[in-house]
Structure 1
């Protein structure tokens, strides 16, 4: 599966479900007849879920647990971080993700379960009133204490993946169940003790729906997007804005209180806590793409604007004062895509092709005039992109495919001493350096994506690694790509990172 979108469905089904909305879920209720009532609550500020539930178990031919769920039709993927809270409870208590045929206590279901003792497993009841049995109805993970769980419904196949923090998702197992139509999907918790109540926390909860492999957003319409902010220390994510349409590429404003992003050819501001968006005045430039950024002193804005009737899509680099004014053309030749400011605030870096050089290369040029300087010399079939200066000005970081896959590199500002930083089978793009100079966040595409391409609506990860090089770790699993982090996206204090994930319904 190569093309993905995210699609949240909130359908109030006429099946007697509780209509108490909790976060992204429409329904919360006890399944079976547990002695102690369970409940789920949602913290709007942190976008986390507190789960509590009782019940003898989710096993044999009937279940007792608390369920937080939506009714969903078609293929989808649900992902969440989960952990138990409180100590001294039954080691066989369970929390996790469940896809269920109905709310009946003996309904068929497939469950990704984290147990109190750390066991992680895929388990199922194939038909209504069937008995679940070991080992016939369970696949146990090779390692324990997974924190990130994922269930994917793909036709009649349900796939479980899991990851420890910082790791790639691994397939734990899959099972085919002959289900048609709508199902229930969400978070569950059971105490495995009729007289006790188990508690757990869930965060980074997302429901995503894949598109067909032939899906082309340019022809079939752009789906929605989420604007998200991540706390780098905790890796907890918050959605601050979403729209059933396209927007991309957030910058953090210098004062740290707003974000700047592009939508419909213009730039917009939004408070970091969410709220009303306001248009940022870029004068005559009203056909911007997703390459824009603020100088390190916070006084100037650079962006790429498409000029009509120009070759190479007409994209050229402009700069203007953040306080307002007329944009100033920096690159006459097209196409040119801005990507970085030098620390002196007088030079920009960009990628471009030229009449005598049809491959994309990295260039730099003074905003005060003069000739542009080529910093790379790519060969046919290669590509470079994402040029960004380190805060101390010692390096320009970028992504390039000269090794055969797209990897992260850095070089001196004069183009010398090129050094490869990542070495993996994925295709890595758009390195962004934290303002304190310590870290890189980048987007990683799976190997099946063409090496020089970075399309939208793909299963991608965001990764964090030391700026001097080192072992990367995964900090986010999402659907995204083009527009997710094309531009510098760090907060001024280096504690948060902003990005766009693909989600929602098509307009």
Structure 2
């Protein structure tokens, strides 16, 4: 979810003078991360792997882009042509069957479009909420999103579920505190997200999960950092998440942050950690490859 998008009509982010977009792919092994694309012309965010494992989908300038991967640097990104879809933010997911991409528009609504491009369909109605997409069930039938009442200027987010074909959503009780990034586990048993329910410190998000059918929250990470956006690998063995400095409010851009790789058997002990300058746009959506061997993220260094 974009930091200012609790009010519709926001503009896409842009690179600051001297700033670059750096798109990285790292593995679950010990090899160093690979810089696959670098540009000082377009701020790209939130990579999803395509279903073939050979491309990434990213948003930038309110549009969706495909970045083809090779053995070296990737080629220049190509726009995925979408019709009937407003400018999008960095909340987008690929359907399990690889046919569609689900998108959050900057108008606060959710959309579905063919992954190869084409006409989009609005899925959400005028229910008084802004909708920020983050997850889709493994059977492709349910979307998990964050609902925020319109006109609140960024009030607490609430977990909501809705049919992937469109229709009314329903709120899920997750207790007190803002949450974000709800995403289904690959087996469909859990929904993971970051929540402030376990603390009274403002903004102190921690990684949690809850049964997909509803139930108490289980805290997966207990840290002094502000932790956002848990993403599980397709085989369920690994996860990534993003840590902000203690005391951070929300998930802003342009901070020293860390991408963590963990085993889902031990969330508290990172297997690998990647410090970088970024935050917003670095790891908002699930960036795992279909074979669970690699994941993508973005940094925004300033010269």
Q: TM-score, normalised by structure 1?
A: 0.52
Secondary structure of 1:424's match? coil
Q: Deviations over 1:397-422 (max 9, x none)?
A: 10001112211011111231321100
Give runs of ≥4 in structure 1 deviating > 4 Å.
217-222, 355-358
Secondary structure of 1:315's match? coil
Measured on the aligned residues, the alpha-carbon RMSD in Å equals: 2.2
* Counterpart selection for 2:235 from 428, 431, 436: 436
Does 2:203 correspond to 1:407?
no
1:250-329 → structure 2 map (5 Å cutoff) = 250-273=47-70, 274-306=74-106, 314-329=107-122
CA distance in 2 between counterparts of 1:258 and 1:353 reads 32
Q: Which residue of 2 aligns with 1:481?
A: 279
**Structure 2 unaligned spans of 5+:** 1-12
Compared CA separation, residues 331 and 391, structure 1 to 2 (3 A): same
Q: Which residue of 1 aligns with 2:220?
A: 421
1:147-296 → structure 2 map (5 Å cutoff) = 223-244=19-40, 245-273=42-70, 274-296=74-96
Once the two structures are TM-superposed, the CA of residue 320 in structure 1 deviates from its matched residue by 2.0
* Counterpart selection for 1:374 from 171, 176, 182: 171
Does 2:193 correspond to 1:398?
yes
Secondary structure of 2:215's match? coil
Q: What is the total number of aligned residue pairs between the two structures?
A: 278
Whether the 8 Å CA contact 2:124–2:167 is kept in 1: the answer is: no
CA distance in 2 between counterparts of 1:490 and 1:424 reads 24
CA distance in 2 between counterparts of 1:229 and 1:218 reads 22
Once the two structures are TM-superposed, the CA of residue 323 in structure 1 deviates from its matched residue by 4.0
Q: TM-score, normalised by structure 2?
A: 0.85
Q: Deviations over 1:274-320 (max 9, x none)?
A: 113211122132411001110122122101112xxxxxxx2211112
Q: Deviations over 1:427-474 (max 9, x none)?
A: 110000001111110001111323xx1111111111122224443314
Whether the 8 Å CA contact 2:147–2:158 is kept in 1: the answer is: yes
Q: Which residue of 1 aligns with 2:289?
A: 491
Once the two structures are TM-superposed, the CA of residue 491 in structure 1 deviates from its matched residue by 0.7
Compared CA separation, residues 415 and 282, structure 1 to 2 (3 A): farther
**Structure 1 unaligned spans of 5+:** 1-216, 307-313
CA distance in 2 between counterparts of 1:387 and 1:403 reads 16
Compared CA separation, residues 235 and 444, structure 1 to 2 (3 A): farther
Q: Which of the pair has more CA radius of gyration?
A: 1
Whether the 8 Å CA contact 2:55–2:66 is kept in 1: the answer is: yes
